[in-house]
Structure 1
Amino acid sequence: MKFIVLLIIAVALYFIARNYKTEKFANIRLDVKEKFEGDLMQHEAGLLVALMAKVAKADGQVCELEAQLLKHTLNDISRHFENEEQIRQKLTTIYEEEKKSFENTIEICQNLYKLTKNNYNKRVKIMEYLLNLAFIDKDFSNTEFMITEDIAKFLQIKREDFERLVNAFETFYKKQEEAEGISLDKAYEVLGATKDETSNEIKRKYRTLVKKHHPDIIAGQGASQNIIDEATQKLQEINEAYERVKKSRGE
């Protein structure tokens, strides 16, 4: 199905943009649209979205990056169909329903396997896409591992291929975290905060520092221009540190 190809291209571009190596896809026709009026839970599109719902449900919350990826996925799949808006509404309904429970996960995997049993590489790419969703918040929980492990098993993905994908994502995000680690540690240091503190606690410390170093307040105290300039630089550092911490927490 060409919608799978579209998603694979999206994933490829996403990771290429982030220096994560993946396959190059070329010579793909994207101008042919499918007309589908049946049950999407008997179609690769609906089954894929259903599995995405299971993975998204695994850690109990959907972060902003996950929400963006889900939104783009529904849009990209829907654009493959002539009845685009109708398909998008149906896929949205599937997602909302399927994230309520894990009970039918095996059945969904078995149905998707039947549709893709002659294309192992496609199933591996689907697995890669689902792992991308699980890892995108940079926290691959035990629950996410278990649900993706089960999905891989019932899609009949070889264990070594599943582990290879997981290791690749872990390595990628570990390197990214290491590259950002110093700046994040520095941000907490600037705010006089720790990673264990709540966002509200950090916000209070941030506001206290802003009041202390705001150049207008410093100027009102009769400080010299040099002191005012130093306060301006310090306030910029405080603001940058606070934004860095908020970003790391998905806020």
Structure 2
Amino acid sequence: MAKIIGAILGFMVGGPLLALLGFVVGTFFDRGLGQAMRFNYGAERERVQGVFFDTVFRVMGHIAKADGRVCESEVAQAEAIISQLGLTGARRQDAINKFKEGSDSSFKLEPQMSDFMQVAKSQTLLRQMLLEALLTMALADGEMASAERDIVTLVAKYLGMPAAEFQRLIDMVMAQRQFHSGGSAQSNSGLELKKAYQAIGVDDSISDAELKRAYRKLMSQHHPDKLIAKGVPEDMLKIATEKAQEIQAAYDLIKKSRGS
């Protein structure tokens, strides 16, 4: 269709020569449109989701092996996370298999991250969600060993995240954990409020309007529909949902302290 329109317009503007040029340009347009219409976005999203899932559990296994061996408590921790995500049947077994692959001495982090970056190179949110998932898992026992931190730091470098931004993300995730299940951070109200600001990623001198913008941005980043569209598997959304609840609890505390 485009090649016919191009030929007609070309003839009207400049005669037979431009008509031929319009026909050629229109032909290329038709080809491009046809390719776009044939592109299977559902299949591409499934591919991204698969790479995200594989990367999370392989790197999780790699983190568990960070100290040289995978101990029983780390296996139990991994199984608890898998159960927490609600993975059952074949999906659960797939997660366990990927964890074992990552904990194997033959596993190489760089090729796995290269595969991930092929699907997430232009997806800032997807890269951030990967780091949040890994940090959440690494902190599942309440602390992150130096060897575990080294691996997650290396992952952040592969993802192209600057060191200062990565440290800020760590501080936020650790502070958000203090508000897990809507709970408060500490009995000391001053420390509790400090953690709340860290959970939102802002300073306590921020204005009410800026605070609201920062809060809304975080909640938007953790919205299920947006994450699914970006390629986060549906069965991994529980991490984002819990993050949103922690952010909400921290924000509510700040608002209460400001009398708003």
TM bracket, shorter-chain basis = 0.3 to 0.5
* TM-score normalised according to structure 2 size: 0.44
Q: TM-score, normalised by structure 1?
A: 0.45
Report the structure, 1 or 2, having the larger helix content: 2
